[in-house]
């Protein structure tokens, strides 16, 4: 996994795997997912990152239990 913050473009990129990005989809304004040739998510991009994260220059890496008490996404039907 690789995390890059480009301060000139104010973009935070997280790559889960090193492979070619075949397609991208903007999920919401400023939030982009990258896909490989099989349609699997291989990364994400957060634009205007300095406005959306506490500090794009700082990262904490933990091995711990994931929080699964988040609300489910609402259906767009």
Q: Which residue carries 């500090």 as its tokens?
A: 55
Percent of the chain at pLDDT exceeding 90: 70
Q: Domain residues of the chain, as ranges?
A: 2-51
pLDDT of the residue at 74? 66
Residue 76 pLDDT grade (very low, low, confident, very high; cuts 50, 70, 90): low
| Residue 34 reports pLDDT greater than 80 | yes
Residue 67 pLDDT grade (very low, low, confident, very high; cuts 50, 70, 90): confident
């Amino acid at each position: 996994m690789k995390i890059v913050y480009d301060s000139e473009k104010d973009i935070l990129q997280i790559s889960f795997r090193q492979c070619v990005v075949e397609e991208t989809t903007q999920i919401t304004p400023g939030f982009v997912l990258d896909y490989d040739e099989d349609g699997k998510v291989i990364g994400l991009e957060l634009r205007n990152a300095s406005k959306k994260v506490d500090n794009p220059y700082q990262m904490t890496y933990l091995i711990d239990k994931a929080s699964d008490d988040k609300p489910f996404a609402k259906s767009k039907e």
